[in-house]
Amino acid sequence: MDDLQKRLAALPPEKRKLLEQALKQKGIDVSKAAPLQDRIPVRGHDGPSPLSIDQLRLWESYQATPQDPRHNNYNAQHIRGPLDADALLNAYREIVRRHEAWRTAFRVIDGVPKQVVLPELDVQMERIDLRHLPAEERRAEANRIMVEATRIPFDAATPPLFRIQLLQLDAEEHIKLWVTHHLITDRITYMVTDKELLQYYMSYVTGTPLQLPLPQVQYADWAEWQVNYLQGEVLDELTTFWKGQLAGASMQLELPADHPRPEQMSFEGRRKHFRLPSELFQGINLLAKTEGVTPFMVFLAAYDALLHLYSGQEDIVVGTPYVNRSRMEVKSTVGYFLTPIVFRVDVNGGMTFRELLHKVKDVNVAVHKHADIPFGMLVDLMELPEDPSRHPVFQAMFVHVDVPTVQVLEGMPLSIVDLDIDGSTSKYDIVFAVLDANEEPKGFWEFNADLFEQETIEEIAGDMERLLEAVLQDPGQKLADLPLRVGEGQAR
């Protein structure tokens, strides 16, 4: 990339633009590469490093509630085919060797939490054979074991901060579970790791040597860079934007709930999974194309409308995960990058869905220009009073995954499908998640079990589907006229 940038810099503007366009069609976006002098530097030591800003906030939460399972992430996959368990374990060992985050401990040094990278780490995989059970009972038992594993806490000072389980259901049927502490990973990390994992797996199975290049930077490099980057003019610009964007915002969503809000969140949650009808998904894509927006914006606008109609509030604040990997150097780096960004939209029943959709588009553009602020820093910036009964700033989350979450390699004799597991936790009042990258678009509603019953969420889910169907038929209709059950007084 360095040589390429030098070549581009030497070209006349017209030729440079043509070459950039050709490269972009091949998936190489040179605009995302920082100038040489602005690259994230590789730290020149192997000693303790500071925590990133969001890591520090998560560390503080972990210290207050070390046994809380919400500090865990997990990824489960259903595997069919002739799986070589020894090759899989060896592939995991290569992944841990390549990425420092998997070998990181979190320790207090001179009163300050630091991340300490171990030079090596023993990697084990628990193998659980369920073939002694009747065939019809194996899947349920596997699910019970996995849910239990997602809730076992880690000691952040003592790696490994992950556990791997391989459950065998039949001769050529397995479930792989990877549970990790949130301090070292996020959802994107699983996608980064899965591709490399399968490459190393196939290398061991076929006996073909594989030497992948190491990541340009490791997570501790990025953490040290971030602390220095978010200062001066950069921080001033972010501070000015977000103070203006959230000035006077209503940061307490009041959805009609089944139970009073407890003084302290228990983080007990549940999920309702759903499949997105293919004709509905196709209609959303067509509407997005017609209106010059993205499917993400269509779903978010629908969610804003739903929250407005249920709560009666006109100032709607929603969080959504931001991958926080805009720098080319960290595209293949493992670690806790993901941070929520906040969308605030004024909504009223007299506006049309099309008007709301384009308002969401405008907010999306502005927010993503200022998305470098870590959520922990944003919370401190807003100087909010402590409220242990709810998530700060926003209580409704929207998640949209539009890239494949399962990697496939040519010649691989395995069929791999992501599995949905209900870890029974929720950090928010309500989460609407859409996963539309694979052949069967699907999603889930996650909700705070302290507030809502399953039946209520089923009503909300039904209303969302009716809302989407209605706005696809006529995006020009007013929000107040949408055919929701809440409008009939049937929802709680």
Is 56 a residue whose pLDDT tops 70? yes
- CA–CA dist 180, 162 (Å, integer): 4
Dist CA 213 CA 210 (whole Å): 10
Q: Where are the domains of the chain?
A: 49-206, 230-488
Same-fold call for 49-206 versus 230-488: yes
Average pLDDT over all residues of the chain: 90
Euclidean distance between CA atoms 72 and 267, whole angstroms: 13
- DSSP classification of residue 52: P
The pLDDT value recorded for residue 338 is: 92
Q: Which residue is listed with tokens 């200062």?
A: 231
Tens digit of pLDDT for each residue in 250-291?
899 999 999 999 999 999 999 999 998 889 999 999 999 999
For helices 187-206 and 85-98, give the axis angle rounded to 10 degrees: 130
Res. 24 pLDDT band, cuts 50 70 90: very low
Which structure tokens are listed for 33? 């590469």
Query: Residue for token digits 């300490």?
Result: 116
pTM of the model: 0.88
Give kind and range of the element (H or E) at residue 271: strand 269-275
Pairwise CA distance, residues 361 & 371, whole Å: 15
Note the pLDDT of residue 254.
96
Angstrom distance (rounded) from CA 355 to CA 476: 8
DSSP 162: E
Instruction: Please report how many Cα atoms fall inside a 13 Å half-sphere around the Cα of residue 166, on the Cβ side.
Output: 19
Lowest-pLDDT choice from 21-25, 179-183, 375-379: 21-25
pLDDT in the model for residue 492: 38
Give the pLDDT score at 22: 55
Q: Tell whether the model's pLDDT for residue 107 goes beyond 50.
A: yes
Q: Provide the pLDDT for residue 340.
A: 95
Residue 362: the pLDDT is 97
For residue 358 the two structure tokens come to 């384009």
CA distances from 280 to 378, 395, 433, 479 (A): 36, 27, 16, 19
125, 83 Cβ separation under 8 angstroms? no
Opening angle at CA 95, ends 92 and 100, nearest 5: 130
Phi-psi region of 110 (alpha: psi -120 to 50; beta: other; left: phi over 0): left
pLDDT in tens, 428-470: 999 999 988 666 688 999 999 999 999 999 999 999 999 999 9
CATH number of 230-488: 3.30.559.30
Least confidently predicted of 14-23, 209-218, 382-391, 421-430: 14-23
pLDDT in tens, 183-203: 999 988 888 899 899 999 999
CATH architecture of residue range(s) 49-206: 2-Layer Sandwich (3.30)
What's the CA gap between 446 and 67, in Å, rounded? 21
Residues 296-322 have a mean pLDDT of 97
| Model pLDDT, residue 26 | 43
Q: Which of helix, strand or coil describes residue 159?
A: coil
